[in-house]
Structure 1
Amino acid sequence: MHLSSSQPPSPSPSTASRSPAPHRKRSDGRPRTRLSEEPTRNGSPGFAVSAAALGLLATPTALSTNATTTALPDVAHDVGVSVSTATWLATVFGLAVAVGTPLAAALLRHRGIRAVVLVSAALIVVGTVAVAVSESMPGLLVGRAAQALGGSGLVTTAINLAGTPRRMGVVTAGSGMCGALGPLAGSLLSDHLSWHVPLALSALALLAVPYVVLRAPAHQRDEGARAPFDAVGAALTVALICALVLLARFPVPALICAVVLGLLLAASIRRRPDGFVPAPVLRSPVFLIASGVVCALSMAYFALLYTVPRLLEDDAQWDRVDVGTGSLVVLLIGSTASWFMAAYAHLVRRSTVLAVLLVLGVLAPFTGAVAAAPLLLLAALGVAVFVAASGQATLSVVAGGGVAEQQRTTALGLFTLCYQLGGAFGPAIAAVTLA
C-alpha cells in the first residue's frame, strides 16, 4: 500500500485560492511524494530548539537503559539479591518508558512543551536521588521508574520538536550510539566508581532542560485538547501496555489480560472517539503502516541485540571482550549510517525509502538466524540497528503527517510507543530462539 500524506485542513480565506496541499510542488518543481525536509505543520515552532539540544534531551535515556545491564551483577551483590531479581531494574525501566510515552503525549497536548519538560526533569531528579542513596531493591525500583517516566517525557518532547527526518536522525542515531556505548560505560563506571553511577546516567539530559525550556514555543491549546481528559481511556491504555511488556515474564496471565484490556479499550474508543487514543488516528492507514513497520524493525533489532552476543560466545567461542568490542563497532557504524539515511532520505521517493527499510529489515534477522560466520552475525546486528534507527527517524514524519493537525502529538506518542514495544518483544523472541 502506498503511504500518502493526510488530507490538509480546510483552507482559511487567506489560503483558499491556493492549490490543495497534496498537489503543491516543491520549489524545484518535483511533486511532494518524498520525505520532506520542511518543518511539519505544527512542528515548525520547534525549530527554535537546535537538533543538538534535542539529541542531548533524548539520548541519555538510551545510555541509562543499556548501561544498567553490565552493572546488574554488582547491584545484586551489594543489595543481596540474585542477578535474576536485579534484572527487574531493567524490566521496570522499560515498562515505565513505555507507559510514560502516551502519558507524555497527552500532557503535551493539554499543557504544552514547557510543562512536559519541567515535569520530566523533576521526575529524573527524584529518580536519580533515589538510585544514588538507595541500598535496597524497592528504593532502586522506585528510582528507576521515576527516571524512566521522566526520560520518556523528554524523548517524546524531542520527537515532537524534531519535525524532519534529518533532525529526527540526530535523536535516533544519537540514541543508537549511546545505546551501543552503554554496556561499556556501565562496566567501567561500576568497576572504577560505583554501580550507582550507571544507574544515574539519565540525569545527563538535565543539561539540555534550561535551554529547551527557554527556547520552546509557548503552549497554544489545540482543539483536540479542549475536551476533558479521558481518564478511563488512559487507564486502560496504561494497563494494556503493562500487560504487553510483561508477556515475556508471565506469558499466559499477561496474554489473557492483554486480550481483555484490548477489548475494553476498543469499547472505550468506540464510546469516546476523541479520547486518550483517538479513533481517527487508528483509522489512518498511513499511521498504522508506519507504526507497524517501525515496531517490526525494532523487534528485529532488539532480538539480534540479545541473540548475536550469545551466539558469538557459545558457537564461535569468542570471549566477552571480543564480543563487546565487535558489537560496539557495528552498532556505532550502523547508528552513524542511520543519520545519513535520515538526512538524505528526502532526496528519494518515500516508497523507495520504505522498500529499503523492509528489505534490509527482513534480511538482517534472516541472516542472524541462519548464518554461522561471526562476521555475518555482526553485520546482521549492524544492519538491524541501521534500519531500526532509520525507520524511527523517517517514518515518524510519515506517521505524524498521516493524521489531522490536532492529532499529530498523540500520533507521534503512539508511534514511539510502537517502537518501544518492539524493544520489549525483541528480547522475548531472543529468549525463545536461544532456549
Structure 2
Amino acid sequence: MNDAETRDRTAAPRVAAGWLAALAAPGAFGLTGPTIVLPQIADGLGVDVATATWLATVNGLGVAIGAPLAAALIAGRGVRFTLILNALLMTAGTLLVAVAPGLETALAGRALQALGSAGLIAVAMNLAGTAGRMGLIAASLATVASVGALVGSLATDWISWRVALMLPALALIGLIGVLGTSGPARGPARPFDVPGLLYVLALGTALTFLPSRPLPSLIAAAVLAVLLALHVRRRPEGFLPHSLLRDRRFTVYCGLILVLGTSYFALLYVVPSRLDHGTAWNAGTIGLAAMAVQLVAAALAFGLAATASRLGRAATVGVLIAFGAAAPLLAFAAGPTPALAALGAALIAAAGGQGILIAFATARTDPRDTPLAIGLFNLCYQLGGAFGPALLPLLT
C-alpha cells in the first residue's frame, strides 16, 4: 500500500494531523495517569488500594467496549455524530470524577471517560487517511502513555489526586480543530446490526477479564464466539461483515497487532520488574529510564510510519516483525541495557504497528466497512492490554 491508494478511498483529509493527535492522545492518560498515585486516590475515596484498582480495570474495559461501539456509530451515523456524542461522554465522565464522593461515582465517571476516549480515538483514526497520519496518532498515544504516570504524580502533588483522573479530558481541546469537519466521504451506511454489535462487545468484555478470571472468561468467550459465528452466517452484511472476514490481509494484520500489543503490554511490566531485581536502581531511576526509552521509541515509531509509503508494505511489515521478535529476546538478556532496549523495541513494534498496519489492513476494504475495520483492528490492539499482563506468571 502507498498513500495514493489510501487517498483514493477517502476524501482528502481536512483536519491537520496535529489536531487529530490532540483529540486522541490524552486518552492514554486514562491508562497510566493514576498508576503512581493510586494510594492517594484510594485514601481520597475511602477504600483500600486493591479496591481502587477497579478504576484501572473499568478504564480498560470501557476502552475495549468503546472501540467497536464507536465503529458501529461511525458506520451508521457518521463521524460528526460520533465525535459530539463521545465528547459529551468524556465531559460527563470527567465531571463525575471531579465531584465523586465515593468509589461508585468515580467508577461511573471512569467508564464514561473510557468510552469517550475510545470514540475520540476512533474518530481521529477515521479522519487520518494515511499511514503517516495514523502513525502520528499512534505515536502520540504512546508518548502520552509514557509520561502519564509522571504527569499524574505531579498533578496530584501540585493540585489534587482528582486531576490525575481528569487528565483524559484534555482530549476536548482537539475539538477546536476537528469539530468543523464532516469527515471523509462515505458510501451508503451498513444496516445497524445491534445483535452483532452486542455479541462483539460481550466477547471483547469476556476476553478483557481473562487475566483476573481465566476459567469463567474462557468459557464465556468460547460460547460467545460460537454465537457470533452463527450470527455472522445469518447476517453476512452485519457488524462483522463477510467481506472483512474473507480479507486475508485484514485478518492477518489484526492477528499481528494482537501479538505485538500483547508483547508490549507484557514487557511494560516485565522490564521494570527485572530492573528492580537485577540492578541497584531505585524505583525513581527505573521509572525515568523507562520513560526516556519510551519517548525515544515513540519518536522512532512515528518516523517508521512517516516513511512506510517509501519503504513499501513488505519491508515495513518486516521491520515491525523484526522489532517485535527482538523485544522478548532482549528482555531476558543480562544487564539493564538489553532490558530497556526490549521495552523500546516492543513499543516501536506496537505503536508503529497500530498506525501502519491499520492503514495497510484497510487499504482495500469496502468504504462502508472501513469504520468497522478500524474499530475491530483497535479492539485487537486493546485486547493485547488484557493478554499481556496475563502472561506475567509465565515470564517472571
TM-score (norm 1): 0.88
Could you tell which deviates more after superposition, 75-84 or 320-329?
Answer: 75-84
Q: Which residue of 2 aligns with 1:263?
A: 226
Q: Which residue of 2 aligns with 1:17?
A: none
From 334, 350, 374, the equivalent of 1:412 is: 374
Q: Which residue of 2 aligns with 1:134?
A: 100
Deviation track 1:281-318 (CA, whole Å, cap 9, x = no partner) reads 11110001111111111111111111111111122232
Change (3 A) 1:324 1:400: same
Which runs of 5 or more structure 2 residues have no equivalent in the other structure? Answer: none
Offset, 1:219: 7.0
Deviation track 1:244-293 (CA, whole Å, cap 9, x = no partner) reads 00010101101000000000011011111111111221111000111111
Distance in 1 (CA, whole Å) between partners of 2:286 and 2:16 is 36
Offset, 1:405: 2.2
Q: Which residue of 1 aligns with 2:355?
A: 393
Q: Which residue of 2 aligns with 1:105?
A: 71
From 209, 212, 223, the equivalent of 2:188 is: 223
Change (3 A) 1:50 1:362: same
Residue pair 2:90, 2:117 contacting (<8 A) in 1 also:
yes
Distance in 2 (CA, whole Å) between partners of 1:148 and 1:340 is 28
Matched residue SS, 2:240: coil
Are 2:10 and 1:43 aligned? yes
Offset, 1:365: 1.3
Distance in 2 (CA, whole Å) between partners of 1:218 and 1:156 is 13
- The one-letter amino acid of 1:114's match is R
Distance in 2 (CA, whole Å) between partners of 1:180 and 1:62 is 9
Q: Which residue of 2 aligns with 1:426?
A: 388
Offset, 1:181: 0.4
Let me know the Cα RMSD of the aligned residues.
1.5
Residue pair 1:114, 1:218 contacting (<8 A) in 2 also:
no
Matched residue SS, 1:401: coil
Distance in 2 (CA, whole Å) between partners of 1:75 and 1:154 is 26
Residue pair 2:131, 2:360 contacting (<8 A) in 1 also:
no
Are 2:266 and 1:303 aligned? yes
Residue pair 1:131, 1:139 contacting (<8 A) in 2 also:
yes
Are 2:325 and 1:359 aligned? no
Distance in 2 (CA, whole Å) between partners of 1:247 and 1:191 is 34
Residue pair 2:16, 2:177 contacting (<8 A) in 1 also:
no
Residue pair 2:20, 2:128 contacting (<8 A) in 1 also:
yes
Are 2:53 and 1:87 aligned? yes
From 371, 385, 410, the equivalent of 2:333 is: 371
Which runs of 5 or more structure 1 residues have no equivalent in the other structure? Answer: 1-33
From 29, 34, 53, the equivalent of 1:68 is: 34
Distance in 2 (CA, whole Å) between partners of 1:108 and 1:40 is 19
Q: Which residue of 2 aligns with 1:327?
A: 290
- The one-letter amino acid of 2:237's match is D
Residue pair 1:40, 1:397 contacting (<8 A) in 2 also:
no
Distance in 1 (CA, whole Å) between partners of 2:2 and 2:285 is 39
Which of structures 1 and 2 has the bigger CA Rg?
1
Distance in 2 (CA, whole Å) between partners of 1:39 and 1:219 is 13
Deviation track 1:324-373 (CA, whole Å, cap 9, x = no partner) reads 110011000000011110001111221111111112101101221x2121
- Aligned residue pairs total 396
Distance in 2 (CA, whole Å) between partners of 1:173 and 1:237 is 27
Distance in 2 (CA, whole Å) between partners of 1:85 and 1:68 is 14
From 146, 152, 158, the equivalent of 1:180 is: 146
Distance in 1 (CA, whole Å) between partners of 2:6 and 2:239 is 26
Distance in 2 (CA, whole Å) between partners of 1:85 and 1:61 is 23
Q: Which residue of 2 aligns with 1:281?
A: 244
Q: Which residue of 2 aligns with 1:245?
A: 208
Residue pair 1:51, 1:167 contacting (<8 A) in 2 also:
yes
Distance in 1 (CA, whole Å) between partners of 2:372 and 2:144 is 26
From 300, 310, 327, the equivalent of 1:337 is: 300
Distance in 1 (CA, whole Å) between partners of 2:174 and 2:382 is 23
Distance in 2 (CA, whole Å) between partners of 1:265 and 1:189 is 44
Change (3 A) 1:137 1:41: farther
Could you tell which deviates more after superposition, 100-109 or 314-323?
Answer: 314-323
Distance in 2 (CA, whole Å) between partners of 1:329 and 1:427 is 22
Distance in 2 (CA, whole Å) between partners of 1:192 and 1:37 is 48
Are 2:107 and 1:155 aligned? no
Offset, 1:54: 0.3
Matched residue SS, 1:197: helix
Distance in 2 (CA, whole Å) between partners of 1:315 and 1:230 is 52
- The one-letter amino acid of 2:165's match is L
Offset, 1:78: 2.0
Offset, 1:171: 0.3
Deviation track 1:378-420 (CA, whole Å, cap 9, x = no partner) reads 0110111111111111111111114222211111111111111
Could you list the structure 1 runs, at least 4 aligned residues long, displaced by more than 4 angstroms after superposition: none
From 197, 218, 227, the equivalent of 1:234 is: 197
Distance in 1 (CA, whole Å) between partners of 2:374 and 2:221 is 22
Identity of aligned residues (%): 41
- The one-letter amino acid of 1:336's match is A
Q: Which residue of 1 aligns with 2:365?
A: 403
Q: How does 1:201-216 map to 2 (within 5 A)?
A: 201-216=167-182
